[in-house]
Amino acid sequence: MVRIANAVRPRLARAATAAQPRIARLTKAVRPGLAHLPGPRAVRTWQYTAGAATAGLALAAGVVTLAGPWDANGQRTAERDRAVALERSGGADHGDSGTRARGPRPAPSAPAVLTGLGGTTGTVSTKKAPPGQKALADVLGPLLGVSALGGGHAAAVVDVSTGKQLYGTAADRAFTPASTTKIATAVAALSALGPDHRLTTRAALEPDTGELVLVGGGDPTLTAHPKAEGWASLRTLAADTAAALKKRGIDKITLSYDTTLFSGPAVHPVGVNDNLAPVSALTADEGRTNNSTSGPVTRVSDPAADAAGKFADYLRKAGVKTTPPGPSKATNRAETLATVSSPPLSALVERMLTNSDNDIAEALARQTALASGRAASFDGGAKAIATQLTKLGLPMSGAAFHDGSGLNRDDRLTANLLTALLVKAADPARPGLRPVLTGLPVAGFTGTLAARYTDGAAGVVRAKTGTLTGVNTLAGTVVDQDGHLLAFAFLASNTTNAQEAQSALDRTATALAACGCG
C-alpha cells in the first residue's frame, strides 16, 4: 500500500494542479445554485464524517475527471484536448485549436429520448414557468431579437429526454447553416459506415512491372509528423514497405500513387481557401504547409503529390531508391505489402466537430457517398448525406446540401433539423451516433469554444459553431437549472458584425443554461 501511495501521489498532485483553474471556474458556475439550498441545521458527528468523506470523494473524482478527462471505460473523449480556437469569418474551420487527438472507441449510449418533432412557423413555447419565474419564450425572445443577429433568425429548443419541442421561432425555415452542417455530416457518416469503420492507406507492388503504388484510402488524418499520436503514420507505412521490399531482395523501385477512390473536382466551389485543401484520397496532414493540426493555413496545391514525395523520402532513408512519383492506378493483381489504418470513425467525427475541421468533413462526405453507392465527389457526398438523414426519418423539409463542411453558402438547414439530429444522436437505440455529442466543443474548454463562455456557461454548454460572412450559427446541448438536457439550434443571417453576433448567440445559450423555466 505504501508503494502504491508513493506512486500515485505525484500523479494526483499534477492532476490537482492542472484542475485548479477549471475547478475555480466550475465553482463560480454553481455558486448561484447554492443559494437555493436549505439553511443550516443541527447535525451529528457521524453526519459531519459522512459529509466530509463524500465531499472528499467528489473532489477527487472532479480532479481526475478534469485533469483527464476519462469516461467509464478509460476511453478518450473530445474534452481530452485543450485548445485555443477563435471563430473566423469566411470559413468553417474556426482557428487553430491545437488539438492532437487520439482515437477513441465508440462512446456509451445516451439517455432515452423520443424523436418525433413537429414543425412550427411562429414563436412557440410549451415550457410553462413555475410561479415567479419567466417562461422560456420570455427569456430567449429578447436575446434573439437583438440587432446584432441581423435581419432574420431561427431557433429551436428540445428536451432531449422526451423529444418535446420547448421553444421554436421560424424553426422550420431554412437558413445558411455554415459549419453546423458538420453535425449532419457526422450523423450521416456514422449511420452509413458505423463508428468502428477505419480508413486504410496501403502500398501495393505490381507483379508484372515491379511498380510500387501508394494507394490513397481517403484518410484525411494520415500524418507525416514524427509523432503520429494515434493517427495513421505515413512514416510507419514507408518503414513497413521498405522492410517488405528488402525481404524480396528489392532496393530500387518505380513509385506511383493512386487517388482514384475519389472523383470530381478537388477544389471546393469557394475556390482555393486556407480553410480547406484540395480534396484528395491521398493526403498527409491535410496538405498543411506548417506543423499545425487545425485552423486556417496555406495548403499545398496537390496534396497527393506532396504525400507521395514524402513517402519516397522515407523509403530512401530506409534504403530503397525510388523514381520521382507520378499518378497511376493499382491493378487488382497488385500485392499489398503494407497498410496503415486510421483510428475508428468515431475519433474522426469527434476531431471534425471539436476543431470544425473542413478537410475531415469533406472526406467523410465522400466516404458516405461510397458507402451509399454514389460517386465520391462534392455532389455525390451531398446527395448521400441527404439520403442517410432521410432514412433516419429526420425533418428534411427545406434542407439542401452542397458539401459536407458548410463552406458552401447554398447549404440550407432548419433549426428543427439541427435539434432533431442532436436528439437522434442521444437515442439509446443508436449508440453509434454518440460521438456526435461527445465531439461537440465544450464551452470555455475545447475546440472552437475554448476561448468563449469564460464568464458564462463554461463547461455547461456544448455546441457546434458556424461562421461565414453575414452568417452566425450555434447548435448543441445544454443542461438547464432543472437538470434537463436540452438540444438547441440558433441560426442568424445578414449579420454585420461577426463578433457581436457570436456574443449574442453565446448570451442566449448561457441564458438557456441558467433558465429554470419549467
Q: Check if 247 is active-site.
A: no
Measure the CA–CA gap between 65 and 69, rounded to whole angstroms: 5
Within 8 A by CB and 6+ apart from 163, the residues are: 113, 114, 115, 116, 117, 423
For 273-334, the DSSP string reads: BTTBPPP-SS-SGGGBSSS-SSS---B-S-HHHHHHHHHHHHHHHTT-EEPPPEE----TTP
What is the separation of C-alpha 464 from the centre of its chain, rounded to a whole number of angstroms?
Answer: 8
Q: Check if 356 is active-site.
A: yes
Q: Which three cell numbers stand for residue 507?
A: 448570451
φ/ψ (deg, to 5) at 509: -65, -35
How many of the other CB atoms lie within 10 Å of CB of 23?
15
Measure the CA–CA gap between 455 and 28, rounded to whole angstroms: 9
Q: Which three cell numbers stand for residue 410?
A: 447554398
Measure the CA–CA gap between 12 and 465, rounded to whole angstroms: 34
Measure the CA–CA gap between 20 and 324, rounded to whole angstroms: 53
Give SS3 for 481. coil
Candidate list 97, 125, 127, 179, residue with the active-site label: 179
What is the separation of C-alpha 275 from the centre of its chain, rounded to a whole number of angstroms?
Answer: 15
Candidate list 97, 127, 182, 294, residue with the active-site label: 182
Number of H helices, E strands in the chain: 12, 12
Measure the CA–CA gap between 70 and 195, rounded to whole angstroms: 19
Q: Check if 179 is active-site.
A: yes
Q: What's the one-letter identity of residue 176?
A: T
Candidate list 191, 356, 377, 405, residue with the active-site label: 356
Catalytic residues: 179, 182, 356
